[in-house]
C-alpha cells in the first residue's frame, strides 16, 4: 500500500471528541441537514456530515482550544466568524463553511504560520504527513507576502535528548496540541507554552531537555503534533510508512491496540489505534517505542542442540532439532515413566500458542505437567475469584473506571506497570473521584499532577489480610453493609459466618494497628469512604497476590466488594491488573496442571470426555506438577525433561540458586525463545521463538478482552511459535495439522463454553471481544456478575490473618519487596534490548535515609543484600518513598540477582511465590557477591559455547 492508500485508510479526525448526550440537535451545514448529540462542536458535526473544515489546533482526541483561527465558519444571525471547533451546535443553526470571505481569512492565517516556518517540505520527515502542509493546500496558499527575512524561529535549537523522538522548535506553530495531550491524554503535565506572543514556544519541565523533565516518553504529544516539530526518530531515519496493520501490544495486561506502520516488513513506527477499546489511541513508552528488540542482533535465529550444558551449541536444521527433542522426551519417558517430562506455557505468547502447549503436554506427553508463569504472579487471583465470585477473572472494562466515585488501589502501581490505564484512572481522579492507596511505598499513585490520595494506608509488607479484615470490621460494625445486595445476591450462611468473624475485636483497626503499622483512624476513614462514597472500584496487582496469603487477600477483596454491593455494574468491581500481555489468556487456555481450558477441573469426567473425544486420547485425571513441584521432582531425579516456551524461569522464579540446581539435574530442557536467556544457559535444545510481529493470534488483556495479534513480517527463525509446537507434537507421534491460528481458536471455541462465540472473524468485525462470549452473550460480556454471580450466590470466605513465616530478625532486620518501573518490563528480555535502558541502566536498591544512615550507606554506594536464600550486590538509592525497615528493588537485569535473595515461601493455595516479603540485611560492600561472580563466569562460558561475543 502506498502513502496515499495508507492515508485513505487512516482514521478520520473529527476535530473534537465525541459527545454522549440524550438530546439530539439538528442543524444545517452548507445546505445539508445534520443531527448530532447536544454539545457536539460545529466542526465535528460538519466532519460527520462529510464536510471537512481546515483546522490546526483541533484534533478529536483533545478538548477544543480555539487558538489557530483556521476553522472559522459563518453562522446565520451571528456576528463575525466563530471558530467551529469551540462552537457547540444549536437546533436550527445555519452554518456556512465555504465562502470567499472565509477562504480569504483562512489563507491569511495560514500565511502567517508559513512565514515563520522552514520551507523544507521536500526534505522534512513529515512530508506527506503534515497537517500544516495539508491545510496550506486546502486554503490555496500560493505565496507569502511578508517574505521570510523578518524575525523568526528558524534557527531555534533542536532537543534530541529523548531516545525515541526529537523536538524541533523551528517547526512549532504553537497550537498547544502537545501540551493538551500531555495533560488530558497522558496526565503528566510535563509541557507548557513558555513565553508570550512571538516568543512563545513549547517547553518541557522547567524549560529543560525532554530527558531531564518529568516527561515519561508516552509519545502522546508526538502523535498530537500536526507538524514535524515532535517526530519519532524512526520516521526521521526511515521516512514515512507505506502500509499499516492493526495489532496488539506485547507488553502489559492493558492490551493496547496499535497500528503497526511499516515500509515492506520494516516497522517504521507503532501508533496507538484510536479504535483500540482498551486504550482509545493512547500508549506508553514500551508499546509505542520499545519494539526494537524484535530485530535486535541478539535474536537467536537458528535451532541448536547439545548433549550436555557444558558442550558447545551446535546449529542444526529445524528437522534435526525437533526430532532430537522428541527423541529425548520419549527416551526419558521410556526410562523414567510418562510423568518425567512437562511443559511451561508463556503469558507472552498468544492464546493459540498457549493452548497448543498445554494440549501437547496433555495429549502427546500424556500427563498434566503443564504450568505457566502466571503461577508466579496471578494464580491467587484465579483461585480467589473463582472461590468467591465463581469466575477467575476481573469483573469490569477499563472504561468502567470513568464511572467510579471511589478508587481503591491495592498493591499496584499502574503508573509504572499499566501506564495507559493509569492515565485513564488519573483522568477520573482529576474529575474528582476519591482515592485510597494501600501500598508500603509512596508510589506515583499516591500523589501526582492534580490528584492526591485521600487515604494512603502505608502498611508493613505482608499485612494485607490484616488490613482487609480491619476494613471489613468497620463496614460490618458501623452498619455500612449493603444489606439488600447481600440478601439478594449472596450466600446467607457464608455471609453470616464472615460477618461474625470480621466483627471480632481482634479484627478491629485498633487491634490491627500494631500488625499493619497503619493508624486505626486511617483504616476507619478508608473503610467508610469505600462503603459510602458511591461507586467504589478496587484495582489490585502483584502486591496482593505475591504473598503467603495471596489467595486469602484476593478473597478478602471480593468479600469487601460483595458486602458493599460494589459489583455487577459500571464503576465498581474487582479488577486484577494483569502483569504480562497474556496472563489472563494463558490461564484461560488451560495452562494450570489441574485445569482444562475455561477453568474446568481435570478430574471432572464430562469435561475430560469432551477433550478426550476431540483430541483422540485418554487424559490423565490427576493434576500434574506445578512449576515449584517440577523443580523438586528434578532434584529428586524423577523429572528430567522440560519444554519451556517464552518464559525465563531462572531469572523470574524465586530462589535462583535452587532453580538453577534443579535445571542442572535435568536431561533435556527445550527452550523456545527470542534470546539465549538465563534458562537457555541450562538448555539442551534451543528453538528460535517469534516476536508478536511475526505471528497471527490473539491476546487476552486484564479486562478479558480478546484482541488480534497480526503477522506483519515473516518469522525470522522460519516458524511462528505455534508452528514449532505443532512440529514437536507431530514428531512425538501426536498429529497436529492446523494451517492457521484461527483454526486453533475455532477448536478452543468448540470446547470452551465461555468462548463458544469467539472467532477471528468476530474479533475482526468487532475490534475485540470480552469473554464470556457465547450464545448468551454473542458480542461478549463487558461487566460480569450483573444479575447473579457466575457461581450463583456470591460466597464470603473467612480471611484469617496469619503472619508470614518470613520474619525479620536481628540477622535479617529489613523487609525486601520487589516491583516494576515504567521503562522496564519484567525480566527485561525485551526492554533491556531497547533504548529504555537509558532511563534505568541497572537495578537499584531503594532504602530509607534512616536505614541508610544506620549502616553508613550513601546514595549510589554498592550494598550487599543478604537473605536466608542468598546474597547479591546492588547500588543504593536513598529515598523516603520506602518506609524505614523496608527496601525495594526491581529484577530487570540478570546480573542483579534479585531472585537470588527471594525465598521459597509461597501462597498457601497456589504456590505463588512470596516475592513481596523477604527478610534481608543490607550492608556496604566493595565487590560483587559470590553468586554474581559465579554468574558472570557461567554467562561467559555459555556465550562462548554458543559462539556469541560477550
Ligand atoms: S511524551 Fe508524553 S509525558 Fe512526555 S511530554 Fe509528551 S505527552 Fe508528556
Ligand atoms: S510542538 Fe507541535 S503540537 Fe506542540 S505546539 Fe508545536 S506544533 Fe503544536
Ligand atoms: S500500557 Fe501496556 S499494553 Fe499499553 S502500550 Fe504500554 S505496555 Fe503496551
Ligand atoms: S482548529 Fe479551531 S481554532 Fe484551531
Q: Give the pLDDT confidence of 226-272 residue by residue, as tens digits.
A: 999 999 999 999 999 999 999 999 999 999 999 999 999 999 999 99
To test the pocket of ligand 1, the residue of 215, 281, 290 to mutate (highest count of ligand atoms within 8 Å of its CB) is: 215
Q: Is 590 left (phi over 0), alpha (psi -120 to 50) or beta?
A: left
For residue 15, give the C-alpha cell: 476535530
Instruction: Give the mean pLDDT of 806-824.
Output: 87
More confidently predicted of 116 and 782: 782
Nearest CA to ligand 1 atom 3: 215
Mean pLDDT of 771-781: 95
Residue 56 CA, ligand 4 centroid: distance in Å: 6
- For ligand 2, the distance from its centroid to the CA atom of residue 98, given in whole angstroms, is 27
Starting from the edge strand earliest in sequence, which strands make up the sheet with 769-770, in order?
A: 697-700, 705-709, 769-770
The band of 6, judged by pLDDT with boundaries at 50, 70 and 90, is very low
Residue 202 has pLDDT above 70, yes or no: yes
Query: Is residue 581 over pLDDT 70?
Result: yes
Contact 653, 627 (CB under 8 A): yes
Give residues (CB < 6 A) around ligand 1.
Answer: 181-182, 186, 188, 190-191, 204, 215-221
* Lowest-confidence pick of 21-30, 138-147, 444-453, 651-660: 138-147
C-alpha to C-alpha distance for 501 and 499, rounded to whole angstroms: 5
Atom number of ligand 1 nearest to Cα 165: 1
Higher local confidence (pLDDT), 185 or 821: 185
- Between the CA of residue 673 and those of 41, 583, 699, what are the distances in Å? 51, 17, 18
The pLDDT of residue 619: 96
Residue 189 pLDDT level (bands cut at 50, 70, 90): very high
Q: How confident is the model at residue 482 (pLDDT cuts 50, 70, 90)?
A: very high
More confident residue, 83 or 870: 83
How close is the Cα of 189 to the center of ligand 1, in Å? 8
Whole-number CA gyration radius for the chain: 29
**127 alpha carbon – ligand 3 mean position (Å):** 29
* Per-residue pLDDT, 2: 41
Q: Is the CB of 72 under 6 A from ligand 4?
A: no
Average pLDDT over residues 863-886: 92
Distance 694 CA to ligand 3 centre (A): 19
708 pLDDT higher than 50: yes
Tell me the average pLDDT across 151-167: 86
Q: Does ligand 3 have an atom closer than 6 angstroms to the CB of 702?
A: no
Residue 707 has a pLDDT of 97
Q: What percent of the chain has pLDDT above 70? A: 97
- Residue-wise pLDDT tens digits, 643-677: 999 989 888 887 888 899 999 999 999 999 999 99
- Residue 82 CB-density burial (10 A; 0-12 exposed, 13-18 middle, 19+ buried): middle
pLDDT tens digits along 725-754: 999 999 999 999 999 999 999 999 999 999
Report pLDDT digits (tens) over 712-725. 999 999 999 999 99
Cα–Cα–Cα angle for 504, 505, 508, rounded to 5 degrees:
100
* Residue 1: predicted pLDDT: 41
DSSP string, 247-293: EE-SSBTT--EEEEEEETTEEEEEEE-TT-TTTTT---HHHHH--GG
Residue 4 has pLDDT above 50, yes or no: no
What does the pLDDT average to over 881-901? 85
Digit-coded pLDDT (tens) for 833-874: 888 888 888 889 999 999 999 999 999 999 999 998 888 999
Determine the Cα angle at 929 with ends 926 and 931, to 5°.
Answer: 165
Q: Is the CB of 224 under 6 A from ligand 2?
A: yes
Q: What is the DSSP string of 73-100?
A: -EETT--S--BTTTPBP-TT-EEE---H
- Tell me if 423 CB under 6 Å of ligand 2: no
Q: What is the mean pLDDT of residues 366-392?
A: 87
Using the mean position of ligand 2's atoms as its centre, give its distance from the Cα of residue 168 in Å: 10
Q: What is the pLDDT of residue 494?
A: 97
- pLDDT above 60 for 3: no
Residue nearest to atom 7 of ligand 1 (CA): 182
- At 232, give phi and psi (nearest 5°): -60, 140
Whether residue 313 contacts residue 306, with contact meaning beta carbons closer than 8 Å, is answered with yes
132 within ligand 4 shell (Cβ under 6 A): no
CA of 209 to the centre of ligand 2 (A): 16
Does the structure show a pLDDT above 80 at 504? yes
**C-alpha to C-alpha distance for 525 and 514, rounded to whole angstroms:** 17
Task: Determine the pLDDT at residue 156.
Answer: 77
> What is the spatial distance between Cα 306 and Cα 315, in angstroms, rounded to a whole number?
9
Pocket test for ligand 2, best of 162, 176, 204 (most atoms within 8 A of CB): 176
What pLDDT, on a 0 to 100 scale, did the predictor assign at position 152?
65
Mean per-residue pLDDT, 589-612? 95
182 neighbors 443 (Cβ within 8 angstroms):
no
Average pLDDT over every residue of 275-290: 95
Instruction: Quickly tell me which residue has 547500588 as its cell.
Output: 875
Candidate of 65, 191, 224, 230 to mutate for ligand 2, largest count of ligand atoms within 8 Å of Cβ: 230
Whether residue 287 has its Cβ less than 6 Å from ligand 3: yes
**Alpha carbon of 279 to ligand 3 centroid (Å):** 8
770 in ligand 2 pocket by Cβ < 6 Å? no
Ligand 3 lined by 254 (C-beta under 6 Å):
yes
Lowest mean pLDDT among 30-39, 736-745, 906-915: 906-915
Q: Is the CB of 552 under 6 A from ligand 2?
A: no
Q: What is the pLDDT of residues 333-377, one digit of tens each?
A: 999 999 999 999 998 999 999 999 999 999 999 999 999 877 767
Q: Residue 240 in contact with residue 304, Cβ under 8 Å?
A: no
Residue bearing the CA closest to ligand 3, atom 8:
287
Residue showing cell 478491629:
508
More confident residue, 194 or 36: 36
Q: Is the pLDDT of residue 378 over 80?
A: no
Q: Residue 270 — φ and ψ, nearest 5°?
A: -110, 120
CA distances from residue 715 to 26, 349, 709 in whole angstroms, order as listed: 52, 14, 14
- For residue 59, the CA-to-ligand 4 centroid distance in Å is 9
pLDDT cut 90: percent of the chain above it: 77
pLDDT at 594: 95
pLDDT reported for residue 819: 81
Residue 949 has pLDDT above 60, yes or no: no
What's the half-sphere exposure (Cβ side, CA atoms, 13 Å) at 144?
A: 17
Task: Answer with the residue of higher pLDDT: 359 or 823.
Answer: 359
Q: How confident is the model at residue 154 (pLDDT cuts 50, 70, 90)?
A: low
What is the residue with the minimal CA distance to atom 2 of ligand 3? 252
Ligand 3, atom 5: nearest CA belongs to which residue? 287
Instruction: Kindly give the distance from the C-alpha atom of residue 750 to the centroid of ligand 3, in angstroms, as a whole number.
Output: 31
Separation of CA 165 and ligand 1 centre (Å):
10
Is the pLDDT higher at 624 or at 8? 624
Instruction: Read off the pTM.
Output: 0.93
- Average pLDDT of the chain, as a whole number: 92
User: What confidence tier does 828 reach under pLDDT thresholds 50, 70, 90?
Assistant: confident
Confidence class for position 332, pLDDT limits 50, 70, 90: very high
Amino acid at each position: 500500500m502506498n502513502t496515499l492508500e495508507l492515508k485513505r485508510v487512516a482514521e478520520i479526525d473529527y476535530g473534537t471528541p465525541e459527545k454522549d448526550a440524550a438530546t439530539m440537535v439538528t442543524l444545517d451545514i452548507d445546505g445539508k441537514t445534520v443531527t448530532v448529540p447536544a454539545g457536539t462542536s460545529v466542526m465535528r458535526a460538519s466532519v460527520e456530515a462529510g464536510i471537512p473544515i481546515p483546522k490546526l489546533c483541533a484534533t478529536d482526541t483533545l478538548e477544543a482550544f480555539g487558538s489557530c483561527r483556521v476553522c472559522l465558519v459563518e453562522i446565520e444571525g451571528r456576528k463575525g466568524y466563530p471558530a467551529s471547533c469551540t462552537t457547540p451546535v444549536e437546533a436550527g443553526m445555519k452554518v456556512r463553511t465555504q465562502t470567499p470571505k472565509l477562504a480569504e481569512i483562512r489563507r491569511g492565517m495560514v500565511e502567517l504560520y508559513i512565514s515563520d516556518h522552514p520551507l523544507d517540505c521536500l526534505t522534512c520527515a513529515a512530508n506527506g504527513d503534515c497537517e500544516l502542509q495539508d491545510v496550506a493546500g486546502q486554503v490555496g496558499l500560493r505565496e507569502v507576502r511578508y517574505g521570510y527575512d523578518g524575525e523568526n524561529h528558524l534557527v531555534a535549537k533542536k532537543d534530541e535528548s529523548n531516545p525515541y523522538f526529537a523536538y524541533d522548535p523551528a517547526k512549532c506553530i504553537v497550537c498547544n496540541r502537545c501540551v493538551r495531550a500531555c495533560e488530558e491524554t497522558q496526565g503528566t503535565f510535563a509541557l507548557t507554552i513558555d513565553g508570550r506572543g512571538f516568543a512563545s514556544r513549547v517547553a518541557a519541565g522547567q524549560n529543560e531537555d525532554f530527558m531531564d523533565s518529568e516527561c515519561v516518553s508516552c509519545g502522546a504529544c508526538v502523535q498530537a503534533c500536526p507538524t514535524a516539530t515532535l517526530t519519532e526518530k524512526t520516521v526521521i531515519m526511515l521516512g514515512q510508512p507505506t502500509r499499516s496493520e492493526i495489532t496488539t501490544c506485547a507488553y502489559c495486561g492493558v492490551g493496547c491496540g496499535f497500528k503497526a506502520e511499516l515500509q515492506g516488513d520494516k516497522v517504521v513506527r507503532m501508533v496507538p489505534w484510536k479504535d483500540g477499546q482498551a486504550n482509545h489511541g493512547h500508549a506508553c513508552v514500551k508499546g509505542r517505542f520499545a519494539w526494537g528488540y524484535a530485530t535486535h542482533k541478539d535474536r537467536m535465529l537458528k535451532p541448536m542442540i547439545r548433549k550436555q550444558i557444558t558442550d558447545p551449541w551446535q546449529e542444526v536444521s529445524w528437522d534435526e532439532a525437533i526430532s532430537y527433542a522428541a527423541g529425548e522426551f520419549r527416551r526419558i519417558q521410556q526410562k523414567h515413566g510418562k510423568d518425567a517430562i512437562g511443559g511451561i506455557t508463556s503469558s507472552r505468547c498468544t492464546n493459540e500458542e498457549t493452548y497448543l502447549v498445554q494440549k501437547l503436554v496433555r495429549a502427546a506427553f500424556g500427563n498434566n505437567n503443564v504450568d505457566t508463569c502466571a503461577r508466579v504472579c496471578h494464580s491467587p487471583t484465579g483461585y480467589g475469584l473463582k472461590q468467591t465470585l465463581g469466575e477467575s477473572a476481573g469483573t469490569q472494562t477499563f472504561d468502567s473506571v470513568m464511572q467510579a466515585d471511589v478508587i481503591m488501589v491495592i498493591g499496584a502501581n499502574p503508573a509504572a506497570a499499566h501506564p495507559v490505564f493509569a492515565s485513564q484512572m488519573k483522568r477520573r481522579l482529576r474529575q474528582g473521584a476519591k482515592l485510597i492507596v494501600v501500598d508500603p511505598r509512596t508510589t506515583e499513585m499516591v500523589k501526582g499532577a492534580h490528584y492526591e490520595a485521600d487515604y494512603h494506608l502505608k502498611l508493613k509488607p505482608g499485612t494485607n489480610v490484616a488490613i482487609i479484615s480491619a476494613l471489613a470490621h468497620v463496614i460490618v460494625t458501623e452498619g455500612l453493609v449493603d444489606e439488600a445486595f447481600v440478601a439478594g445476591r449472596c450466600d446467607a450462611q457464608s455471609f453470616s459466618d464472615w460477618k461474625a468473624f470480621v466483627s471480632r475485636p481482634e479484627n478491629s483497626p485498633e487491634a490491627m494497628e500494631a500488625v499493619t503499622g497503619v493508624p486505626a483512624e486511617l483504616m476507619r476513614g478508608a473503610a467508610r469512604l469505600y462503603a459510602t462514597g458511591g461507586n467504589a472500584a478496587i484495582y489490585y496487582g502483584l502486591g496482593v497476590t505475591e504473598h503467603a496469603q495471596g489467595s486469602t487477600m484476593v478473597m478478602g477483596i471480593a468479600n469487601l466488594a460483595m458486602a458493599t454491593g460494589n459489583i455487577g455494574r459500571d464503576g465498581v468491581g474487582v479488577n486484577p491488573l494483569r502483569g504480562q500481555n497474556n496472563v489472563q489468556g494463558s490461564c484461560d487456555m488451560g495452562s494450570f496442571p489441574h485445569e482444562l481450558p475455561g477453568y474446568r477441573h481435570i478430574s471432572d469426567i464430562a469435561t475430560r470426555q469432551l477433550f478426550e473425544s476431540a483430541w483422540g486420547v485418554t487424559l490423565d485425571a490427576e493434576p500434574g506438577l506445578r512449576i515449584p513441584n517440577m523443580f523438586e521432582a528434578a532434584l529428586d531425579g524423577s523429572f528430567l525433561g522440560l519444554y519451556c516456551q517464552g518464559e525465563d524461569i531462572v531469572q523470574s522464579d524465586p530462589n535462583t540458586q535452587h532453580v538453577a540446581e534443579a535445571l542442572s539435574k535435568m536431561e533435556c530442557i527445550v527452550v523456545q525463545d527470542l534470546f539465549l536467556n538465563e534458562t537457555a544457559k541450562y538448555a539442551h535444545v534451543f528453538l528460535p521463538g517469534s516476536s508478536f510481529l511475526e505471528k497471527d493470534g490473539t491476546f487476552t488483556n486484564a479486562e478479558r478482552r480478546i484482541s488480534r495479534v497480526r503477522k506483519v513480517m515473516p518469522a525470522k527463525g522460519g516458524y511462528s511459535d505455534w508452528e514449532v509446537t505443532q512440529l514437536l507434537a507431530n514428531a512425538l507421534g501426536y498429529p497436529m495439522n492446523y494451517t492457521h491460528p484461527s483454526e486453533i481458536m475455532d477448536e478452543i471455541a468448540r470446547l470452551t463454553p465461555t468462548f463458544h462465540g469467539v472467532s477471528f472473524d468476530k474479533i475482526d468485525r468487532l475490534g475485540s471481544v470480552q469473554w464470556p462470549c457465547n450464545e448468551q452473550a454473542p458480542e461478549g460480556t463487558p461487566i460480569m456478575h450483573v444479575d447473579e454471580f457466575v457461581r450463583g450466590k456470591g460466597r464470603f470466605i473467612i480471611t484469617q490473618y496469619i503472619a508470614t513465616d518470613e520474619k525479620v530478625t536481628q540477622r535479617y532486620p529489613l523487609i525486601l519487596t520487589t516491583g516494576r518501573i515504567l521503562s522496564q518490563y519484567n525480566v527485561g528480555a525485551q526492554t533491556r534490548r531497547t533504548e529504555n535502558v537509558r532511563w534505568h541502566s541497572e537495578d537499584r536498591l531503594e532504602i530509607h535515609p534512616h536505614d541508610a544512615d544506620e549502616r553508613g550507606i550513601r546514595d549510589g554506594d554498592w550494598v550487599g543484600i543478604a537473605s536466608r536464600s542468598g546474597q547479591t550486590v546492588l547500588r543504593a538509592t536513598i529515598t523516603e518513598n520506602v518506609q524505614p525497615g523496608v527496601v525495594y528493588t526491581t529484577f530487570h537485569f540478570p546480573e542483579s540477582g534479585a531472585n537470588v535473595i527471594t525465598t521459597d515461601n509461597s501462597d498457601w493455595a497456589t504456590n505463588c511465590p512470596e516475592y513481596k516479603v523477604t527478610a534481608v540485611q543490607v550492608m556496604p560492600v566493595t565487590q560483587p557477591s559470590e553468586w554474581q561472580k559465579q554468574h558472570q563466569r557461567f554467562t561467559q562460558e555459555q556465550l562462548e559455547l554458543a559462539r556469541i561475543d560477550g
